[in-house]
Amino acid sequence: MMTQQVTVDPDRLFFQSERRKLFVTGSEAVGEAIKRANVDVGIAYPITPQSESMHIVGDLYAEGYLKDYFRGENEFSVMSAVAGASMGGVRVFTATGGPGTLRSFEMFPTWAGARLPIVCAFLTRGVNSPLTIQPDTIEMAYMLDTGMIMFHAEDAQDLYDMILKAFVVAEQCDVHIPVGVFADGFFVTHTRDEVMVAPPEMKLPAYQPYSSPVPVMDMENVPFRQMRDPFVMKSNFISYAAHASWQQEVTAAAERARPYIQHYLGGLVEAENPGADILVIASGTAVSQSRAAIQTAAGLGFEAGLVKVKCLRPFPTEEMRALTGQCKAIVVPEFNRVGWLAREIRATIEDNGKVVGGPRVFGGMTMPTDMIVDAIRRCSA
């Protein structure tokens, strides 16, 4: 049965309410977030390891927490349908992962270009032939330049917090672009963890459709389009300039999200012992492995600091430069083949020869902390 809920200010929901502890899976943490997110429409399509999260959202719909919910015919259509619903002025949520992310890929730059504040959870998995359903963050490499804001959750607590906060960041009038909340499939979705949650009687304020910087497609707000010489698909300078400036504006919208991310997430990064000569920089569950490895290394007499990257787009460029200015080596453990985070860091900092790309695991492997300890030890030599 649905709990009677009242809307509260986001700051109260996030920071001032009395939280209670649950012992839940990552998928259930998604449900706990959506229960408090005042979502109008959820649209689902199954894919491992995401499916359970949208089952739970379906259950929430059946209980009355959402106003509409259905299963679409494939991920491309689902991402299209949430776009249509968002253009119609309601708050939407969906989730996918791995091949589903790629199946729907054409929609993500379209969401950003259309300034839709859609929140989507990406519960990542491998992309390969032969088929794999195992954990891997390779899809995040593909997502980096879609124009979406990207958060990366370390654990179920992050997943719960980031989904709720994503709606608030996405819906700011001067931002108003989609947010992808990424979490490592299986490692987060299918494991149980302690998660502190706000009271179920509280939910976010409803989405205000006319906070959109572009017209809501409802024939209730001007302008109704009519141009004599539209720039769409024209081959002339005005057309090029219009498209170029709009792409810049979408990028600028992500930049304008920084202060909101700072406020709600407490920053784009979190650092522990950043003055150490060796820094381990990671995102997602690689952060947990790194934290454990740093503790083990300390016991062996090797000191290392930790930088947890919570937000990948916009990228914490200034934070990264400031944090890495003094260190001698940077270890970047990752759950993917290409090492996209190491690539990002190398492209950001001046003295990038000190970035050690790895250790990396992929294809579904877990990352033994020993691999990270070894990397720290080698950098200490």
Partner 1 sequence: MTRRMFKISAGFEEVMPPEYRELVEKGPFEKQLGVAELGTFKELLEEHPLCAGCGLALSLRLTLISLPSPEDTVIVGATGCSSLAFPQVAVHNIHSLFGNQNAVATGLKRALSLRFPDRAKDVVVIAGDGATCDIGLESVMHSWFRGEKLTTIMLDNEAYANTGGQESGMSQLGTVLNMAPMGKKFKKVAFPEVAKAAGCVYVAVAAPHQPRRLERSVRRAILIAREIGPTYVQLYTPCPTNYKFKPADTLSVIREQEKAGLFRPDEYLSPEAAAYIQQLEEAKG
Residues within the interface to partner 1 (CB under 8 A):
40-41, 43, 67-68, 70, 72-74, 76-78, 80-90, 92, 106-107, 110, 114, 209, 215, 217-222, 224-228, 230, 232-233
Please, what is the minimum distance in Å from the beta carbon of residue 197 to partner 1?
Answer: 27
The Cα 87–Cα 100 span in angstroms is 22
CB of 356 to partner 1, least distance (A): 41
| Least distance from partner 1 to the Cβ atom of residue 30, Å | 20
CB 54 within 8 A of CB 93: no
Judge contact between 369 and 293, C-beta under 8 A: yes
Q: Identify which of residues 83 and 119 has a Cβ nearer to partner 1 in the complex.
A: 83
Q: Is 94 helix (H, G, I), strand (E, B) or coil?
A: strand
21 versus 225: smaller Cβ distance to partner 1: 225
User: Look-up: residue for tokens 């302690």?
Assistant: 194
Between 213 and 259, whose beta carbon lies closer to partner 1? 213
Residues 38, 7: Cα–Cα separation, whole Å:
8
- Among residues 294, 286, 289, which one has the least CA distance to residue 373? 294
What is the closest distance, in whole angstroms, from the C-beta atom of residue 123 to partner 1 in the complex? 21
Q: Nearer Cβ to partner 1, position 45 or 340?
A: 45
CB of 336 to partner 1, least distance (A): 28
Q: Which two structure tokens, joined as six digits, stand for 25?
A: 């899976």
Closer of 21 and 228 to partner 1 (Cβ): 228
- Write phi, then psi, for 332 (nearest 5 degrees): -125, 90
H or E stretch covering 150: strand 149-153
- In the complex, minimum distance from the CB of residue 372 to partner 1, in angstroms, rounded to a whole number: 42
CB of 214 to partner 1, least distance (A): 11
304, 276 contact by CB (below 8 A): yes
Cα of 47 vs its chain's centroid, Å: 18
Q: How far is residue 145's CA from residue 167's CA, in Å, rounded to a whole number?
A: 20
Please, which residue, 88 or 267, has the CB nearer to partner 1?
A: 88
> Prior bond to 109 cis, omega within 30?
no
Nearer to partner 1, 73 or 350 (CB): 73
Of 77 and 128, nearer to partner 1 (C-beta) is 77
CA nearest neighbour of 361 among 137, 164, 141: 137
| Closest distance to partner 1 from the beta carbon of 105 (Å) | 11
The amino acid at 266: G
CA dihedral (126, 127, 128, 130) in degrees, to 10, reads 70
